[in-house]
Amino acid sequence: MNRLTAMIESISDWAARVSGVVLGLMTVLILVEILLWNTMSKTTLIADEYSAYGLALIIFLGAGFCLKERGHIRITLVLGLLPDRLARIITFVATALTTLFFGYLWWYMLQMVRSTVRYQTTSGTLTNTPLWIPQVLMLAGAACFFLQFVGITVRTFQAIGSGEEVI
């Protein structure tokens, strides 16, 4: 199991690096838009739309890394008042339920992408971007987040017997 969680964590690290590259590309795109507008009163016509796609990608690709690094909000007031073993069991149950919920959410997103491909949906902008392209990227990021949830769930289960703190 430790190999599985280590592999999942390396996937989250990789996704976070890709997220950083996307952030850099978005920055360049916005700077080019500003430069073109201020110097020649021209526009790229894509900066707003593609920056929005990039933002969604950054959020989904970075979410697994954020979870791994304990960056998500977690309320520990009640857990701190409970005996350690009970707190670990509650943490495992909450993490397992969240993993199941996010697995369902990922499946629903997959259905959305399939529908977009089936109906050949495009953006309502001048670019007519096929929406399956940003949606597939978002789905990949959501898969990384889901895998990180699986890894955290495994680690919380192992922590019940070992006594180590997980999240």
Q: Which range has the worst mean pLDDT, 73-77, 119-123, 148-152, 161-165? A: 161-165
Closest CA to 15 of 65, 53, 52: 65
* Residue of 136, 145, 96, 100 lying closest to 116 (CA atoms): 136
Supply the pTM of this predicted model: 0.87
- Name residues whose C-beta falls within 8 Å of residue 113's C-beta, 6 or more positions apart in sequence: 132, 135, 136, 139
Q: What is the pLDDT of residues 104-141, one digit of tens each?
A: 999 999 999 999 999 999 999 999 999 999 999 999 99
Vertex 109: Cα angle to 104 and 22 (nearest 5): 120
Asked if 85 contacts 166 with a C-beta cutoff of 8 angstroms, the reply is no
Model confidence pLDDT, tens digit, residues 4-20: 999 999 999 999 999 99
